[in-house]
Amino acid sequence: MKVANRTFIISGGASGLALATARDLHSAGAYVSLLDLNSDNGNKIASELGSRAKFFETDVSDTESIQKAVEGSVAWVKETGKEVGGVIAGAGVGLPGLIVDKKNEPIPISSIDFVLNINLRGTLDLIRQAVPYMTTNKPEGPDGERGVIVMIASSAAFDGQMGQVAYAASKGAVASLTLPLARDLSRYGIRAVTIAPAVFDSAMTKMMSNKVKQSLEKAMEWPKRAGEPEEFAKLVRTSVENPMLNGTVLRLDGAMRMPARL
Ligand SMILES: NC(=O)c1ccc[n+]([C@@H]2O[C@H](COP(=O)([O-])OP(=O)(O)OC[C@H]3O[C@@H](n4cnc5c(N)ncnc54)[C@H](O)[C@@H]3O)[C@@H](O)[C@H]2O)c1
């Protein structure tokens, strides 16, 4: 599908992987609607990108907040005439915790809810609310494409480490829902793709201690470094542009397989 002159709704678009994606799609002529909790970053980026970008302060764990942002995006689409071509569900969090800690206390259910509500429920809720605005798009090209959904899982979907039960559960679920989502949407010419990155530079990985980061990099196969957000964004662009990518989970990890512990 063509990127130019279409609107992409991008959650988590104020930072990291989703921000690099927003910049890349924008540089290819897209309109980008950035949904994020972080309004300082979001407003700054939207004004830097100019008239083809809009920011909506959004909490993806809150259905009404998503509704407002999607409605705002659609109102903007009505002004610009650039229909919703895609959703990039990039908002996500990590909150490590062993299933039972050294004091024999189980992980708080609030930690599990926090991660699942943002990474899984927030992803599905955004897609659920945005899709009705894509099914009625004018079909494009010989295949009659109407749009694409790109989700972000993680290496943790396949080889989650100690302390990652909640995060791995959320990302494994995103990976699992990719095929049924593609099947639900195939009749409309809308595709669904999930990217599962290993370690990439972002605000999330900046929070890791140097020791953790270094041992993660040692576990990398090749190249022995964290990925760059722009390398992630390139795969999103390909996912949008290549119609044969559908219903699949693409690992983007330099052959890294996460060890049980660092
Ligand atoms: N960076 C990595 O190494 C890596 C690896 C695998 C998967 N991921 C996944 O990639 C995605 C992006 O992460 P990142 O590394 O770019 O992190 P990041 O922290 O740089 O960006 C995440 C963005 O999501 C936003 N966000 C958090 N909670 C939100 C909420 N409730 N509602 C709306 N926005 C919210 C944050 O404000 C932030 O702008 C996440 O889903 C993460 O799990 C990242």
Domain membership of residue 68 as a residue range: 7-250
- Does residue 256 lie in a domain region? no
For ligand 1, is residue 46 a contact (CB within 6 Å)?
A: no
Question: Which residue has tokens 């992980």?
Answer: 107
- Does residue 114 lie in a domain region? yes
- Does residue 2 lie in a domain region? no
Partners of 56 in the beta sheet?
35
- Does residue 145 lie in a domain region? yes
Distance CA 45, CA 61 (A): 22
DSSP classification of residue 115:
H
Closest C-alpha to ligand 1, atom 32: 59
Q: How many domains does the chain have?
A: 1
How many whole angstroms from 143 Cα to the centroid of ligand 1? 33
Per-residue pLDDT for 46 more than 80? yes
Ligand 1 atom at minimum distance from 17 CA: 16
How many whole angstroms from 138 Cα to the centroid of ligand 1? 32
- Does residue 187 lie in a domain region? yes
- Does residue 113 lie in a domain region? yes
The per-residue pLDDT for 4 is: 97
Q: Determine whether 167 is an active site residue.
A: yes
- Does residue 1 lie in a domain region? no
Closest C-alpha to ligand 1, atom 40: 92
Average pLDDT on 102-124 reads 98
7 three-state secondary structure: strand
Tell me the pTM: 0.97
Angle between helices 16-27 and 39-49 (to 10 degrees): 10
Per-residue pLDDT for 8 more than 80? yes
Q: What is the CATH number of the domain that holds 238?
A: 3.40.50.720
Closest CA to 194 of 142, 144, 161, 152: 152
- Does residue 257 lie in a domain region? no
Tens-digit pLDDT profile for residues 179-218: 999 999 999 999 999 999 999 998 878 888 888 778 877 8
